[in-house]
Chains A and B, each alone.
Chain A
Amino acid sequence: MLPKLTRYTRPESLEEALKLLREPGSAPLAGGTQFLAAANPDIEQVVDLQALDWRRIEVAPGWLRLGSLATLAELAQAEALSGPAGGLLRQAARRAGPNTFRNAATLGGLVGARLPVSELLAALLALGAELELAGEAPETVALDAYLDEPRGLIAAVRLPWPQAGAGGAHAIGRTPADTPIVHVTAWAGADGTRLAAGGVGARVARLARAEQALAQGVEAAVSAAAALEPPGDFRGSAEYRRAMLGVLLRRVLRDCGVKD
């Protein structure tokens, strides 16, 4: 139920979208998978972004640019997502949910929702993603900075491309396709190893301390990660999540070929 929602708009241009979004009670709408399910009662106007040309997946020199309105299904099948890094992204997109979800959910919507658990967000973090934010003063921000402090309208997700390296992703769930209790993704590239995890904090996040400790070896990274204080819920307690973070860290690092 969205009791206050009285206006549906579908702007044809970014300027129009931004103008509409400045109106009080406005919210952007992409695939809708979270919008209607969450049913925020304060929303008065939805600004459906589907008419914006933000769906393309393209490779430019040095960059992979993923339009924020690309669906997860499109990401999962995109040929542009090649090599080990592309494989990591495609697998994460495919595992994000059943086909109905992947067909509707968009990359920008997924990022904007800042879910506590998302293997795709973790893969993007591990691959050093940045966001192109639209607005009066368009800017590019690192994905982890956005997750800490969201702002603006996500036009695209950009990744340095191609990336040479190796990646790994592991997750634990109650069933094979369940929302993970804990998941960890690693990417060992030319500029070092990045680690990201979900289910161990309020949001999917980089494991900065574990990354730093990695210089002292895998077990040092595991110890550093153990300092996190995950939330506990019916899927798994804080204690379990903390322990599993270590187990999965070892596994993803092994997959990346990171030796102790």
Chain B
Amino acid sequence: MDIQLTLNGERLTWAVGPRERLLDVLRREGCFSVKHGCETGECGACAVLLDGQLAATCTLLAAQADGHALETVEALSRPGQPLHVIQQAYVDTGAIQCGYCTPAMVMATLALLRRNPDPSEAEARDALSGVLCRCTGYVKPVLAALRAARAMRGEALPPIDFGQGHEAPPGLFGGRPGGGAPSQADEPATPRGDGASTLLARVIPDLLIRAEGRKSVGQSEPKKDALKLVKGTPSFTADMEQRGLLHGKLLTSPHAHARIRHIDTRAAEALPGVHAVITYRNVPRVFYASGGQSYPNPQPWDQLSFDTKVRYVGDRVAAVAAETPEIAQRALALIEVDYEVLPAVFDPEAAMQPGAPMVHDEPDAIGILDARRNLVCHIDALVGDMAEGFAAADHLFAREYRVHQVQQTPIEPHVVTTWWDGDERLNVLTATQVPFHVRRMLAPLVGLPARRIRVIKPRIGGGFGVKQEMLIEDVCAHLTIATGRPVKLEYTREEEFRSSRSRHPQIIRYRAGVKNDGTLTALDMRVIGNTGAYGTHGLTVQTCTGLRGLSTYNCPSRRFDCDVVYTNLPAPGAYRGYGAPQAHFATESLMDEIAAELGLDNLELRRRNWVKIGDALPMGGQLGEGAGAIPTVLSSGLEQCVAQGMAAIGWHRKFDPAWRAAPGQPHKRRGLGVAICMHGTAIPGLDMGAASVKLNDDGSFNLLVGATDLGTGSDTVLSQIAAEVLGVPSEDVLIYSSDTDLTPFDTGAYASSTTYISGTAVKKACEEVRGQIFKVAAEILKLDSTEGLRLGGRQVWAPDGQSVSLERVALHATHVHNQHQIMASASYVSPECPPPFAAQFVEVEVDTETGVIEVKKIVMAVDCGVAVNPATASGQVEGGMLQALGYGLCEEMAYDDEGRLLTTRFGDYRIFAAHEMPEVQVILVETEEPSGPFGAKAVAEIPLDGAAAALANALYDATGVRVRQIPLTPERVWQALRAAEARRSPVEESEAA
């Protein structure tokens, strides 16, 4: 049927099918700013303006739009035109991270400002409530909307304060702040502004940072990819079109555990439009581990592209390539599978018992520790002597904590396109964090030498670890090999929930020995990690749990003992934080429990034990892929983080009974909670990044990096590092990242490594290029040596004040004399793993009748070393805290008794939306890390670590009730409150019963 509509002011007639969704038609017609994130209208990435109102297009039939007017972000600024003021506001405020939902947010803002030129913050939040964002925590998008409102009203725009940095108040640095004592003098370092211009507070202790006169490093420069993201220009995997494209679709298991007796694909193959059906019968049996990790991939290698057995509901059974997604879907229904359903096991402790169902009974899997007991691996580590440690203690504590399974949920689902290029090399365009690992891991599965595979990473719509896997690339590649055609395989949201990766659930049992004064003498950590159906990141995530659980605090005797166990649940994998959020929930809950029991101040207890500059991190020598040398803390702003966080949250109120009871609401209790966080920066001795830098003949530079920007802004940060060394504005640095044919190697975007590892590689390569530039400049300036030359303002400056432009140096080198290409590459692998530190604070109000925890405010003060770009660094913390809040409060993968996932759509799997976020405040406490590029260390993962424990501690502070399992759902809290009530009044309880 034909529909007539107005799109961005143009009257159009389109032929559409009766069941086509508006989303699909818009994308087919070239509106690539309209993104697919789900099928239920709940993520809002596909939202456009329909007759001026924001509407999700995945729940509209195209035919419904007949006769209506649509507007998309493409209308706001055509290619080559300046940005619309709303777009400019999004760029200027740093509101764009992965950019996948940015076009929808921009349109939501436009709809708001047309009807309300002067919106309040609450109105701005409501306007954005239909667009879920996993990156930003909505802090900067809301700011962008309010700033755009000012601009559209014609008001002068104040400069955006990304925290220009101020010196620490006297006594804060090196000295001891107020400690746990109540103090009315807790004043935030930088008071919050009117919300329209002040973004974050920064504390820069080391005046050297500015004394050096840095031009680019330390500046909140706009993102390098902001233009294409804010204009919605085709940039993501699904936006790239291929002629003759086929659509792939996976058939997955309806059973948690079953053997495939027989599979009949004839009817599916006979369906017109179907080009291939692949199963275990026509795909080679090659074992692998899907986790995107360095060579050799940690064992077990217990996965196959397709197997004769399925191990969780959602496990792969077959795949189809067909002319349309719909034909592929119909073909799946025609595949007949005869399953022998097997008993399944979901509880990791039951899985270890004799007689439990064996998840991996295939004899040819490689490297499973004890398949009969479903044991993937065992991890242990010991420092000191446990018996001595416990003997030295005055108090013993034994506590069990439980953490659950949550999902990364980037708004862009997994998506990959594969095709043969003219040289008959397999091209893989994929939303991945690990393009180089994907090429190496894919080659044996598809039977091609790696040199015949090219992996290209375009813009990525968020990853958070779930794309640190070779999750579906092999399926798509098999389909291209089977058909000779380009194939796209894109997960639906339901598939993303059912058949991707998640965070490992764990049972964590701590035993601690403590002296009367709170000094730790022994910490014994026993962990059971549930890695679901496959090993993938099972070993390494659980290893990190031990490392992170046993490193924050000094203690003479420490032991880690961990079993990683198979069950018939979807396999967890890498999720931002990587074992640390689990460990921190347990450790930081335990520290509060110890403090409460011993009557000590909970911060004073931590301070007594936490690691300080110069302290060794002995577990680092035993736990971790790069294990070996024992790292030492070289920089720490933890003391300052605590002081700043206390001030920002108003910690003194904790000691004010009048504040703790909500007036007029006797069932409400208020409380404050804290957690200390320490993370790592990259995997020492293993993570490697490389960069190449080339001087162009106009004086600009091409910077090629293997580092994989998945929306975090690493391209921007790396460009700033290059610009700083090369003395140019970063617009002169043309960065291109992650293409296995074009860029040097990088392990990928994980382990909080990019700024530190890849950044150092960029810095080294640029320094090498700088040396080459100096030689040519000396020749031009007729100097005897390059000594004393420096770069700045696109010039090479001699000590005597002469200068020569980079353009002239470049032209000279390429055209005039001794012609050569000024170019260098460099790699970096670090022996160090400098920990970033943070203090996480939350304020809650607990409804004791319902168990509902209302989070009023969440504050994190982070020492990430020098923030190369404070806007992107604080954006990492803001978005990370949103995920951490979800972990602690509401996100949970829930299953029925048969192992079927119940939370397969947004809404059921609840992530925070813009209009329900608490107040979020980020403080960057910058230190200078001696081993980092320009003093930087990591910031990416630490925001995930503390919120869950801080919430549990705040709940305790408010109510006196300790909950040792997350998420802290209303019912879980209510049950705990009720149980505590019953303990307090056993007589009344028995009477009532």
Residues of chain A having any CB pair with chain B under 8 Å: 1-3, 5-8, 10, 29, 32-37, 39, 46, 48, 50, 73, 98-101, 103-104, 172-179, 181, 233-234, 236-237, 240, 243-244, 247-248
Q: B66's closest neighbor in chain A, by CB?
A: A10
Q: How far is the CA of A233 from the CA of B912 in the complex (A)?
A: 21
Q: Are A240 and B916 in contact (CB under 8 A)?
A: no
Q: Roughly how many angstroms separate A35 CA and B129 CA in the complex, as a whole number? A: 21
Residue contact A48 to B56, C-beta cutoff 8 Å? no
Collect the chain A residues with CB atoms within 8 Å of residue B55's CB: 100, 103-104
Any A CB within 8 A of the CB of B902: yes
Whether a CB of chain A sits under 8 angstroms from the CB of B648 is no
- Inter-chain contacts of B130 with A (CB < 8 A): 98-101, 103
Known: A98-B44, A99-B127, A181-B970. A32 touches B54 (CB 8 A): no
Nearest CB in chain B: distance from A40 CB, A = 12
Name B892-935 residues within 8 Å CB distance of A: 892, 894, 902-903, 905, 907-908, 910, 912-913, 915-916
Q: B53–A7 contact, CB under 8 A?
A: no
A-B contact pairs, 20 of them (CB 8 A): A5-B18, A8-B1, A29-B64, A32-B64, A33-B41, A34-B59, A48-B63, A99-B127, A99-B130, A100-B54, A101-B130, A174-B890, A174-B969, A175-B910, A175-B916, A177-B915, A178-B890, A234-B892, A236-B971, A240-B975
B19 at the interface (CB under 8 A from A): yes
Contacts A175-B916, A237-B971 known; list 8 others, CB within 8 Å.
A3-B330, A5-B18, A8-B1, A36-B58, A37-B39, A172-B970, A174-B890, A177-B916
Q: With contacts A99-B108, A99-B129 known, is A50 near B64, CB below 8 A?
A: yes
Nearest chain A residue, comparing its CB with the CB of B969: A174
Complex CA–CA separation, A179 to B60 (angstroms): 22
Instruction: State which residues 579-612 of B face A: CB under 8 Å.
Output: none
**B residues apposed to A, CB below 8 Å:** 1, 18-19, 21, 39-41, 44, 47, 50, 53-56, 58-61, 63-64, 66, 108, 126-127, 129-131, 326, 329-330, 849-850, 852, 854, 889-890, 892, 894, 902-903, 905, 907-908, 910, 912-913, 915-916, 967, 969-971, 974-975
Whether B910 pairs with A174 at a CB distance below 8 angstroms is yes
Find out whether the CB atom of A175 lies under 8 angstroms from the CB atom of B889: yes
In the complex, the answer to whether B53 meets A73 with C-beta atoms within 8 Å is: yes
Contact A104 B907 (CB under 8 A): no
Provided the pairs A10-B66, A104-B59 are in contact, do residues A99 and B912 lie with their beta carbons within 8 angstroms?
no
Pick from A29, A100, A175, A177: contact of B56, CB under 8 Å: A100
Contact A5 B19 (CB under 8 A): yes
Question: Are B971 and A175 within 8 A (Cβ)?
Answer: no
Q: How far is the CB of A49 from chain B (nearest CB, A)?
A: 11
Q: Is the CB of A103 within 8 A of B326?
A: no
Query: B64 to chain A: which residues have CB within 8 Å?
Result: 29, 32, 48, 50
Bound together, the chains give a CA A98 to CA B105 distance in angstroms of 13
Min C-beta distance of A254 to chain B, whole Å:
12
Within 8 Å by CB of B19, from A2, A34, A240, lies: A2
**B971: A residues at CB distance < 8 A:** 181, 236-237, 240
**Chain B residues, Cβ within 8 Å of A177:** 129, 913, 915-916
Chain B contacts for A3, CB-based, 8 A? 19, 326, 329-330
**In terms of DSSP, what is the predominant structure of the interface of chain B?**
loop
Query: How far apart are the CA atoms of A7 and B58 in the complex, in Å?
Result: 19
Instruction: Please determine whether A99 and B54 come into contact, CB atoms closer than 8 angstroms.
Output: yes
Q: How far is the CA of A46 from the CA of B21 in the complex (A)?
A: 13
Chain B residue at minimum C-beta to C-beta distance from A244: B850
Which residues of chain B have C-beta atoms less than 8 A from A179's C-beta?
A: 907
Question: Which residues of B are found within 8 Å of A8, using beta-carbon distances?
Answer: 1, 18, 61, 63
Chain A's nearest CB lies how many Å from the CB of B610? 32
In the complex, which residue of chain B has the Cβ closest to the Cβ of A247?
B849
- Within the complex, the shortest CB–CB distance from B533 to chain A, in Å, comes to 21
Residue of B nearest to A182 (CB): B850
Enumerate chain A residues within 8 angstroms of B969, measured Cβ to Cβ.
Answer: 174, 236
**Which single member of B50, B59, B127, B915 contacts A35 (CB below 8 Å)?**
B59
Contacts of B126 in A (CB 8 A): 99
Q: How far is the CA of A174 from the CA of B971 in the complex (A)?
A: 9
A177–B956 Cα distance when bound, in Å, is 24
Alpha-carbon gap, A223 to B251, bound state (A): 50
B53 A32 Cβ-Cβ under 8 A = no
The 8 lowest CB-CB distance pairs between A and B, nearest first, are A100-B130, A234-B894, A98-B129, A98-B130, A174-B890, A37-B40, A176-B916, A5-B19
Given contacts A8-B1, A178-B910, contact A100 B47 (CB under 8 A): yes
Closest to B52 in A: A103
Name A39's closest neighbour in chain B (CB-CB): B39
Pick from A32, A73, A103, A243: contact of B974, CB under 8 Å: A243
Residues A103 and B53 in contact, CB atoms below 8 Å apart = yes
Looking at the assembled complex, report how far the CB atom of B357 sits from the nearest CB atom of chain A, in whole angstroms. Answer: 24
Asked if B970 and A101 make an inter-chain contact with CB atoms under 8 angstroms apart, the answer reads no
> Does the CB pair B18–A6 fall under 8 Å?
yes
Q: A103, B54: Cβ atoms under 8 Å? A: yes
Residues of A within 8 A of B326 (CB): 1, 3
Return the contact of B131 from the options A29, A100, A103 (Cβ within 8 A): A100
Inter-chain contacts of A104 with B (CB < 8 A): 41, 55-56, 59-60
Which residues of A have CB within 8 Å of B915?
A: 98, 176-177
Q: For the complex, what is the distance from the CA of A103 to the CA of B19, rounded to whole Å? A: 22
Alpha-carbon distance A29/B22, docked complex (angstroms): 15
Enumerate chain A residues within 8 angstroms of B854, measured Cβ to Cβ. 176
B981 to chain A, nearest CB (A): 12
Question: Whole-angstrom distance between the alpha carbons of A5 and B61 in the complex?
Answer: 11
Contact A37 to B59, CB < 8 A, known contacts A3-B330, A48-B64: yes
Contacts of A176 in B (CB 8 A): 854, 915-916
Residues of A within 8 A of B44 (CB): 98, 100
Contact of B912 with A7 in the complex, beta carbons under 8 Å: no
A28 to B142, CA, bound (A): 38
Q: How far is the CA of A173 from the CA of B850 in the complex (A)?
A: 10
Q: Please, how many angstroms separate the alpha-carbon atoms of A104 and B48 in the complex?
A: 12
Report whether A172 and B59 are in contact in the complex, using a CB–CB cutoff of 8 Å.
no
CB distance from A74 to the nearest CB of B (A): 10
A contact residues around B330 at 8 Å (CB): 3
Cα distance A172–B53 in the bound complex, in angstroms? 29
Which residue of chain A is the closest to B885 with respect to CB atoms? A175
Write out the residue numbers on chain A whose beta carbons fall within 8 Å of the beta carbon of B849.
247
Q: Say whether A36 contacts B59, CB under 8 Å.
A: yes
Contact with A234, one of B66, B329, B902, B975 (Cβ below 8 angstroms): B902
Q: Roughly how many angstroms separate A248 CA and B913 CA in the complex, as a whole number?
A: 25
Least Cβ distance of A115 to chain B in Å?
12
Closest to B892 in A: A234
B21, B39, B53, B326 interface centre (most CB from chain A within 10 Å)? B53
Contacts of A178 in B (CB 8 A): 890, 910, 916
Cβ-defined contact, B903 with A234, below 8 A: yes
In angstroms, Cα B60 to Cα A39, docked, is 12
CA distance A34 to B19 in the complex (A): 15
A212 to chain B, nearest CB (A): 25
Chain A residues whose CB sits within 8 angstroms of the CB of B889 once the complex forms: 174-175
Shortest distance from the beta carbon of B942 to any chain A beta carbon, whole Å: 23
